[in-house]
């Protein structure tokens, strides 16, 4: 198993009632209570359950021996791993979780057991489990409490061994351990000196590359010839650059590296570890590389991916071209990807998706040159009309091109429509052209949906990324403001009925928009968003401490930029938030602590304005459990319909949710 592709994007850190009007505010008119949107005739509501309920089957993977199919499916309403023999109706659940559900799993190379990672109620201290497919007996492989486990690598020619990362010795850093799958014992393999952000193992399961960071956010590529050899610096990237190692060649003599040193867009190259000669493999003038497809046997590059408006794949290994052409014939103009392959490379699981086409999984038999449709994850949606997502380019006030996506409700409309600005998290992340249940839900409820890749979003080159440095609440927020004004002028949007909604950084953007441009938004929905940059940076998870230099560079230094940080924190402008606000929070969120939501709700209410505040006691940075997710969507739908006018499916109490209104 590859190094979780941690180092592929090692610097793309994820952070993932109506109020009373006050005379002192510059907003003179009270937010109106709008009746459900009447502009769409003969409207058919898509039930929330079909969009946000657990899919009947998802996350398909083929077994290494090519005989079995695994997938995630509900068991008594909770996501669990199921397995069946291809071509037979012998499916069975192999796990029996009763609460949180399982979403991340992978096969053992012997096809006789599986592994999965799970945390407790959203605390992100993931534990590694193994389940035997015949006996259904489970083993907890990393039992230490308060420790976060990660998988670095396993190799099919080295059975019974796995390299894992644990912050067991020091909760701020991850050491490498060798896990013996037969005995369950772990042994320290490579100790973290304190500055290593990620590790890469070679073909023989030896840790031979690492990415380090210093106090000035300079990254260094460290490589050693063997586990007994000293580490040497092979490449550096300064605080404005990004890069990192991907994989060793099978013979261990070269290393694949991705980075943007000397170029605006990231490029892929191979480095000879003896001569240090660099051989370019691919670069795009349009966008950063977003993915690299490696041959599972020897790690040579088969294809690369990048995304500007839409995802594009370029074949590097010509022998791989026939397969990609076959997949493209099935996918048409949809996104597509190879999920996993059998060990002999004869059978693949392939997935396709698009804005109006939920994910479909196919079995691709390379020898027979045919595809078998295995699962349509949201087949029930086929009888409803979904709304196309249109890529658009919006100019910021200072001339940047903002790649954005506009989704307009289907059906007959008259007059100007309400809009929801849906802001992505990160902020070092991006919106993409694909199926998004939240977008389809909002469009079906009668809202124009606008998604904006504001400056600081990833994928558009280092100049665009660095344009967001220390611009939280300022130019990054200006991009969103400019996009809203564009939509009002170009997309027939009602200027008085624009809401802003988002999670994580998107939640911050909601609070910033409501506080810094109170006249622009009629309502806001904040999902696990930070309200104070200062308290956010002071309460990050301990294992983010080695990355503080990145936050100091891209967000702000707690000491040097104290005044700026305070100015950009919505908490200190809470009295300006006078339009309806809803806040949703997971009680156990390790990234954006519940205190971030508590303090903004308290501050807004102190000013005499009301906030809808909902906390889920068994969730973290987002809402994984179906009952909580359904509760959140239902409450958000009712809130938006009340304040900007839209269609609404009547709210019903959701059985099993831990939602509590404060």
The DSSP 8-state label assigned to residue 112 in this structure reads S
- 116 contacts 81 by C-beta, under 8 angstroms: yes
Q: How many CA atoms lie within 13 A of 554 on its CB side?
A: 32
Is 504 an annotated catalytic residue? Answer: yes
Q: How far is Cα 51 from Cα 70, in angstroms, rounded to an integer?
A: 23
Q: Max Cα separation, the chain? A: 74
Is 647 an annotated catalytic residue? Answer: no
The 3 state secondary structure assigned to 130-191 is EEECCCCCEEECCCCCCCCEEEEECCCCCCCEEEEEECCCCCCCCEEEEEECCCCCEEEEEC
What residues contact 318, with CB distance under 8 A and at least 6 apart? none
- 62 contacts 348 by C-beta, under 8 angstroms: yes
SS3 of residue 440 by DSSP: helix
Determine which one of 589, 627, 631, 636 is catalytic.
Answer: 589
Q: How many CA atoms lie within 13 A of 564 on its CB side?
A: 15
Determine which one of 109, 621, 643, 647 is catalytic.
Answer: 621
Q: How far is Cα 282 from Cα 512, in angstroms, rounded to an integer?
A: 39
- 396 contacts 302 by C-beta, under 8 angstroms: no
What residues contact 149, with CB distance under 8 A and at least 6 apart? 117, 126, 127, 128, 141, 142, 164, 165, 166
Q: How far is Cα 606 from Cα 596, in angstroms, rounded to an integer?
A: 16
The 3 state secondary structure assigned to 5-63 is CCCCCCCCCECCCCCCCCCCCCCCCCCCCCCCCCCCCCCCCCCHHHHHCCCCCEEEEEC
SS3 of residue 269 by DSSP: strand
Q: How far is Cα 312 from Cα 317, in angstroms, rounded to an integer?
A: 16
Determine which one of 284, 357, 387, 504 is catalytic.
Answer: 504
Helices (H), 405-452: 437-444
Is 492 an annotated catalytic residue? Answer: no
Q: Provide, for the chain, the percentages of residues in helix, strand and coil under a 3-state DSSP scheme, each rounded to the nearest 5.
A: 20, 35, 45
Q: Which residues are designated catalytic?
A: 504, 589, 621
């Amino acid at each position: 198993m590859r190094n979780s592709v941690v180092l592929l994007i090692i610097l793309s850190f994820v952070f993932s009632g109506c109020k009373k009007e006050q005379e002192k505010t510059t907003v003179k008119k009270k937010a109106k209570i709008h009746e459900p949107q009447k502009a769409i005739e003969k409207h058919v509501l898509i039930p929330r359950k079909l969009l946000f309920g657990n899919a009947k089957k998802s996350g398909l993977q083929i077994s290494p021996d090519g005989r079995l199919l695994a997938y995630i499916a509900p068991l008594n309403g909770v996501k669990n791993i199921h397995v069946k023999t291809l071509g037979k109706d012998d499916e069975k659940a192999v796990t029996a979780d009763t609460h949180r559900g399982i979403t991340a799993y992978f096969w053992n190379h012997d096809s006789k057991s599986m592994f999965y990672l799970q945390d407790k109620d959203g605390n992100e201290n993931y534990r590694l489990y193994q389940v035997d497919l015949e006996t259904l007996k489970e083993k907890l492989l990393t039992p230490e409490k308060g420790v976060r486990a990660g998988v670095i690598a396993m190799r099919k020619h080295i059975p019974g061994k796995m390299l894992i990362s644990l912050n067991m010795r020091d909760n701020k850093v991850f050491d490498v351990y060798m896990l013996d799958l037969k005995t369950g014992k772990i042994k320290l393999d490579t100790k973290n000196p304190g500055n290593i952000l990620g590790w890469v193992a070679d073909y023989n399961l030896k840790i031979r590359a690492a990415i380090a960071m210093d106090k000035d956010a300079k990254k260094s590529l460290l490589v050693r010839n063997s586990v007994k050899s000293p580490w040497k610096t092979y490449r550096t990237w300064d605080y404005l650059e990004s890069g990192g190692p991907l994989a060793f060649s099978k013979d261990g003599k070269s290393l694949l590296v991705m980075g943007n040193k000397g170029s605006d867009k990231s490029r892929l190259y191979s480095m000879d570890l003896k001569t240090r000669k660099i051989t370019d493999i691919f670069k795009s003038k349009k966008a950063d590389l977003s993915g690299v497809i490696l041959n599972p046997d020897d790690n040579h590059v088969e294809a690369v991916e990048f995304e500007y408006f839409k995802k594009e794949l370029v074949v590097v290994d010509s022998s791989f071209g026939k397969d990609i052409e076959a997949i493209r014939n099935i996918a048409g103009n949809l996104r597509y990807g190879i999920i996993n392959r059998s060990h002999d490379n004869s059978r693949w699981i392939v997935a396709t998706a698009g804005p109006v086409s939920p994910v479909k999984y196919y079995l691709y038999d390379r020898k027979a040159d045919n595809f078998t449709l295995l699962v349509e994850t949201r087949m029930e949606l086929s009888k409803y009309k979904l709304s196309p997502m249109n890529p658009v380019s919006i100019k910021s006030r200072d001339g940047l091109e903002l790649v954005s996506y506009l989704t307009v409700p289907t059906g007959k409309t008259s007059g100007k429509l309400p809009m929801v600005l849906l802001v992505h998290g990160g902020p070092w992340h991006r919106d993409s052209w694909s199926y998004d249940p939240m977008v389809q839900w909002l469009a079906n409820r009668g809202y124009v949906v606008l998604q904006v890749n504001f400056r600081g979003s990833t994928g558009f080159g280092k100049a665009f990324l660095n344009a967001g440095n220390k611009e939280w609440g300022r130019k990054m927020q200006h991009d969103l403001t400019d996009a809203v004004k564009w939509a009002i002028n170009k997309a027939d949007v009602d200027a008085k009925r624009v809401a802003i909604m988002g999670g994580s950084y998107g939640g911050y953007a909601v609070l910033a928009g409501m506080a810094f441009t109170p006249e622009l938004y009629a309502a806001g929905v904040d999902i696990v968003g930070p309200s104070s940059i200062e308290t956010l940076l002071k309460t990050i998870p301990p294992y983010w401490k080695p990355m503080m230099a990145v936050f100091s560079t891209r967000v702000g230094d707690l000491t040097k930029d104290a005044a700026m940080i305070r100015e950009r924190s919505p908490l200190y402008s809470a009295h300006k938030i006078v339009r309806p606000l809803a806040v949703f929070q997971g009680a156990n969120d390790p990234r954006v602590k519940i205190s971030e939501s508590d303090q903004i709700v308290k501050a807004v209410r102190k000013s005499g304005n009301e906030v809808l505040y909902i906390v889920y006691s068994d969730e973290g940075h987002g809402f994984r459990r179906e009952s909580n997710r359904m509760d959140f969507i239902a409450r958000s739908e009712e809130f938006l319909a009340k304040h900007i006018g839209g269609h609404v499916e009547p709210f019903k109490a959701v059985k099993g949710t831990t939602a509590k209104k404060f």
